[in-house]
Every structure is written in structure tokens, then in C-alpha cells.
Amino acid sequence: MISVENLVKTFPSRSGNVVALDGVSLEVPQGTVCGVVGQSGAGKSTLARCIALLEKPDSGAIRVDGTDLVRLNGADLRSARRQIALVEQEDILFEVRTVAGNVALPLEVARTARLERRARVLDLLDLVGLADKAAAYPDQLSRGERQRVAIARALVARPSVLVADDPTSALDKQTTAMVLGVLDRVRAELGVTVLIVTHDMEVLRRVCDRAAVLEHGRIIEHGSVLDLVTQTESRVAAMLLPEVSAVTEPGVGSGEASGSYDRVVDLILVGFAAVGALLPEATSRFRVNLALLGGGLTRLGETPVARFRIGLTGEHTNVTLDFISQHGGLVQPISRRH
Ligand SMILES: Nc1ncnc2c1ncn2[C@@H]1O[C@H](COP(=O)(O)OP(=O)(O)OP(=O)(O)O)[C@@H](O)[C@H]1O
């Protein structure tokens, strides 16, 4: 578990101090993945570097499994550093060492016995899908493979926290998917707590249980991704849910919100039951006609999530919408015909 409390970090500059983190508090429970998003300059990398103990905050606490790392010095600090691994955008591999040699490096530094070292390196290479590349050299690898070697190296000393600063920024879509697959396995198989700084919404969608939005050094939104997407005005919802106005079903809903329907609403549905069955059940139960005007489906982790704009006609449109709300759908009114 990572718990960040009221973290402040300023950098001196010619025009005065730059406040990179302005009282950041954040919790990432054990074994979960938290995505940190926000505009350029919001403070994301500074937060990642503070948690990875590469920057010392001016004030505040960073607790990992209960210990405040900000207060540590000397041997305690060195030992705490081994608990926290960092993967950056472009990781530097030692070109003269093989893939296995690169992954083994932290264990050599820690003087781990040769047999144990070998077993752990092979385990990690297996986890990142590169067991067959153990004897290859970094210049024989693709960018995505290099990034996976960096992840294996970061994890080989069994840290409890992995901090990844924009790990997919230099990668194409297919390679990103492979790296995300690896991060998913890291969470599932090693139980490591992961904090990922990212600009890529696919990272939030595919692997993050939680999200935090930073703006001008402050957290403006923070929580479980599935909770945030059902909150009105949520930035995370705006980033992750399908656009309602951009996608329209051909042949239906030509009069969108213009009076052709008794009610036009946006609906957010989370989970297999809601996405698959709630609308047909509600419309047949109350005998209303439903037209799909826009929106679509996405997947957050394993959970299907939909945002639809629908037009309803019939005598019982209000009761239908109440029924949908009571069964977990979030109803956001757009217009009402009167
Ligand atoms: N070492 C430093 N010295 C001076 N100012 C810094 C330093 N590191 C970061 N900053 C400043 O702190 C603020 C936050 O920077 P940071 O890199 O954390 O933002 P970010 O959200 O990661 O941005 P990006 O998405 O562009 O990487 C910015 O104003 C930046 O210029």
C-alpha cells in the first residue's frame, strides 16, 4: 500500500519557486494499479520521482506499508529504495550485457547467490514473455521488448511498489498492448502495488483499478475507475467513456433531442448485467420505445461499460428511467418534451 500525505515539492527557478506538488494526498491499496493523469507540467513525473525516492519532497509523508520514507536516512533509506522500483519512458539497458545479464543486475548488487539469481531471472523473463531472449543483446530487441526487459529488471529484487513513468509513451499500439499485458500479469501474479504516470487513455482503460487526476500540482479527482466513471462532471469519465455525440447508430434517432422523443437521456451502465440486460428489461416491462441515438461500449479492465444517448417514447418513460436508476444505471437528463 502506498499512502501519500500532503506532499509539497518546489523547484527553484529564476522567476521564483515552481510549485510542482502542492499538497498531494493519494492512496494506492496493496496489489492495485493507479494511473496518474493530467496535463503537461501538472506534476505527474515529480510525484512519481518523489515516490521512487529520486526527489526529496519539501514536506509531507510517503508511506509504503506503513513506513514514512521521507524520514529515512542512511542504511534504512537504501533498504527502502529496494522496495520501490522505477521504470521510465526509455529505460537504459547495458548494451554489453545480455538480456538475462541486465535483469540480473539488481541481484548482483544485492549479492544474491548465483543459483537463486538464475532462477529469479528466468522467472521474471518468463513473466514478461522473453524467456527465449535471455541470451540476446539489447540491440537485437524491439523497443517494446526493451521496455519489458526494463520491467523484469525493476521487479527482480521483489519490490513491493512499481512506479512507471509513462512506460508506453514511445511505443506503438500493438507494442503498448504487450507491455500492458505484462503490467496486468505483474499485478495478478506478484501482487505488486503499481503507480503509472500516463498520457495514454488505453493504459487507464486496460490496467488501472484506480485513477488520480493532477492539475497544477493538486489532485482534483481520485478513486476507483469504475466509481469515477459513474460520477457526473468526472474528468476520468470524460476521458474514458465513449463520446455520445460522435457516434450515432445509423437509421435511428434522427431527431436527437429535438422533440421526436418524450425523453432524451444519457445513460452510463457498468458491468455485464447492466450493459447486457437492463435496457431490454426496462423497455419491455414498461412498454416504452427506445432509440439508440449515440454513444457506445468500452471495457475498463475486464468490465464492460457503456455510455448511450437514448430517446424514449411512451406513457411510462419516467418510471422506466427510475427503474434503470434503481438497477445501477446512471441517468443524465438531456431534454424533456413539454
Ligand atoms: N528538476 C526540476 N527543476 C525545475 N523545475 C522542475 C523540475 N522538475 C519539474 N519541474 C517543474 O515542475 C512542474 C511539474 O513538472 P512535472 O515534470 O512533474 O510535470 P508532468 O505532469 O510530469 O509533465 P509532463 O506530462 O510534461 O511530463 C513543471 O512546471 C516543471 O517545469
Give the per-residue pLDDT at 13. 87
CA–CA–CA angle 221, 222, 227 (5° rounding): 105
Give the per-residue pLDDT at 140. 95
38 touches ligand 1 (CB under 6 Å): yes
Q: Could you tell me which residues come within 8 angstroms of residue 53 by beta carbon, excluding any fewer than 6 positions away?
A: 69, 77, 80, 81, 84
pLDDT tens digits, 43-80: 999 999 999 999 999 999 999 888 899 888 888 888 88
- Of all protein residues, the one whose alpha carbon is nearest to atom 24 of ligand 1 is 40
11 touches ligand 1 (CB under 6 Å): yes
Give the per-residue pLDDT at 148. 92
pLDDT tens digits, 218-242: 999 999 999 999 988 899 999 999 9
19 alpha carbon – ligand 1 mean position (Å): 9
Q: Is the alpha carbon torsion for 7, 50, 36, 123 positive or negative?
A: negative
CA distance 142 to 284: 53
15 alpha carbon – ligand 1 mean position (Å): 15
* Among the listed residues 29, 53, 26, the one whose alpha carbon sits nearest the alpha carbon of residue 37: 26
216 alpha carbon – ligand 1 mean position (Å): 10
112 touches ligand 1 (CB under 6 Å): no
45 alpha carbon – ligand 1 mean position (Å): 7
Question: How confident is residue 150, by pLDDT bands cut at 50, 70 and 90?
Answer: very high
24 touches ligand 1 (CB under 6 Å): no
159 touches ligand 1 (CB under 6 Å): no
46 alpha carbon – ligand 1 mean position (Å): 6
50 alpha carbon – ligand 1 mean position (Å): 12
ipTM score of complex: 0.94
142 alpha carbon – ligand 1 mean position (Å): 29
pLDDT tens digits, 163-206: 999 988 878 888 898 889 888 888 888 889 999 999 999 999 99
Give the per-residue pLDDT at 20. 96
Q: What is the crossing angle of helices 143-155 and 114-127, to 10°?
A: 130
pLDDT tens digits, 257-290: 445 889 999 999 999 988 889 999 999 999 999 9
Share of the chain above pLDDT 90, in %: 70
41 touches ligand 1 (CB under 6 Å): yes
20 touches ligand 1 (CB under 6 Å): yes
Burial of 315 (0-12, 13-18, 19+ CB in 10 A): exposed
- Of all protein residues, the one whose alpha carbon is nearest to atom 11 of ligand 1 is 20
Q: Could you tell me which residues come within 8 angstroms of residue 169 by beta carbon, excluding any fewer than 6 positions away?
A: 89, 198, 199, 200
Residue 254 has pLDDT above 80, yes or no: no
Higher pLDDT, 72 or 91: 72
Residue 338 has pLDDT above 80, yes or no: no
Q: How many C-beta atoms surround the C-beta of residue 271 within 10 A?
A: 14
